[in-house]
Amino acid sequence: MIRSLGLGLCLLLLLAGDVSAQAACASGSDRSKVDVAPDPVVFPNPTGMDFFVGWVMSGTVTVRVNPRGKKKSWTLCLASDDLDMGGYGKPVSDLEWQVEGAGGWMPVDLANQVVLQGAGRSDVLLRFRALLFADRDAPGSYDAVLRFTAKGT
């Protein structure tokens, strides 16, 4: 059975950290400017093959970290403000991310997750994929708000 499932992902940038964040995400008082492109990220409509494979992938997302000092070190974190991806009950953890070329996939979570640490102005390339379940995913549009935070370390 082939289902049509539109997936959309809105990225909202907030530059303030969470009080309950992991230590690496909460430490440091210096905030860095963060830009994301494209914004929003839009997934293609899944095909029958995507459901067979179990996921559909977005294009590359560029997160530019621009610290206040040219050589200042930073920690880039990611969290979602949404428990699910819309009114269909699809959990936000069905949305996964990875640093391009770095290996494993991580589920998006409500808690801050360390994406990468670096120094100076940097472009971090990310990929997102949405897990697909033919037996439980209702056709429709899905979205989630993600929050990127970069703090000086």
The domain ranges of the chain are: 6-134
Q: Which two tokens stand for residue 59?
A: 């294009």
Whole-number pLDDT of residue 71: 75
Query: Rounded distance, CA 44 to CA 36, Å?
Result: 19
Residue with tokens 């037996």: 135
pLDDT at 24: 63
Structure-block tokens of residue 108: 């998006």
**pTM of the predicted model over 0.75:** yes
Rounded CA gap, 78 and 148, in Å? 5
pLDDT value at residue 6: 37
Residues of the chain with pLDDT under 50: 1-21
User: Kind of pairing, strands 61-66 and 33-37?
Assistant: antiparallel
Q: What is the CATH number of domain 6-134?
A: 2.60.40
Per the CB < 8 A criterion, the answer to whether 133 and 63 are in contact is no
